[in-house]
Copies of this chain bind each other. A is one copy, B any other.
Amino acid sequence: MIGIDWGTSSLRAYLLDPDGRVLERRVSSEGILSAAGRFGAVLDGLISGWPAEPVLMSGMIGSRQGWAEAPYVACPAGAGALAAQLRRVTTAGPRGVHIVPGLAMLDGEGIPDVMRGEETQVLGALAALGRSSGRIVLPGTHSKWVSVADGCITGFSTYMTGEVFAALKGHTILGRTMDGEEIDEGGFARGVEQARGDCGPPGRLLHRIFSTRTLGLFERLAPREAAGYLSGLLVGAEIVAATPLPDEGGSSAGVGSGIVVVANSALAALYADAAGRLGLSAEVAPADCVTAGHGVIARAARLVA
């Protein structure tokens, strides 16, 4: 079979053997924004020469702005519920092409949250690690924190950490005194430690980020450390909010005090480092584990044996 992870700004295709091993991997920068209106042609071009079907696609390709909308499935949901709601699309070629739906849920206050693509990565990460339960974080522009019990995604929460960091760095006074493009390790560590001690309600974050400026003003934070510090403040605040820390009231039922991180190696290392400073063990999922998710869903849908 062929597994496709098609996001807003990138496209990854994997040729898989019957056991789900990756035989070949092809990457394109034609995310759904640039491929709009010619999805079939872009797909056929990328996977040309690959004889296999079915093709199972996950990610923003199933959004309103994608190839065809695959409506959100209500969470809790596992591979079976996702498989039951695949959206089939027709292409010029003879292949059977299907889109995995996203997940939606309401939090305790009736506010919706959504994911699209991460559900497949989460199921794949746990399958790759040989587990059926856990707490998984997919850090990034919009970090997702996902709880899974017995193969069923039971709840999740989105944190806009990456996008907020970029907006603060690029478009507020905090970025004006930053020097260098790298995330300084020492600055990052200081930010995470600061976030550990922070208390107060959510609005306190609007105050705490100002310390990036004031510490610099009193020469207690160097310009080359400032971006790392702000990143550490935000990532630390995210982790503290998303996990009951071991020293703050115990761990989630059945999940233990560990998390699984699904991200590229640099970002995964950053989150694993922050989690460790906050007393959580972090395991990094193997690269390309999304393919194991494609396999799990394809089997649940009986697209493959």
B-binding residues in A (CB < 8 A): 104, 109, 111-114, 142, 157-161, 163-164, 166-168, 170-174, 194-195, 197-211, 214-215, 217-218, 220, 234, 236-242
Contacts and interface: CB of A to CB of B under 8 A. Distances in A.
A33 B114 CA distance: 44
Contact of A210 (B109, B158, B234): B158
Contacts of A172: 160, 163-164, 167
Contacts of A161: 206
11 contacts: A111-B211, A112-B215, A113-B210, A167-B170, A195-B202, A200-B201, A201-B202, A201-B204, A203-B242, A205-B206, A206-B237
A215 to B, nearest CB: 7
Nearest to A169: B167
Contacts of A168: 164, 167
B167 A173 contact: no
A63 to B, nearest CB: 10
Given A167-B168, A167-B171, A160 B210 contact: yes
Contact of A171 (B171, B209, B211): B171
Interface-central residue, A160, A168, A173, A208, by most chain B CB under 10 Å: A160
Contacts of A207: 157-160, 241-242
Contacts of A195: 202-203
Nearest to A220: B112
Contacts of A114: 214, 217
Given A114-B217, A142-B210, 7 more contacts: A158-B207, A167-B168, A167-B170, A195-B202, A202-B203, A205-B205, A207-B241
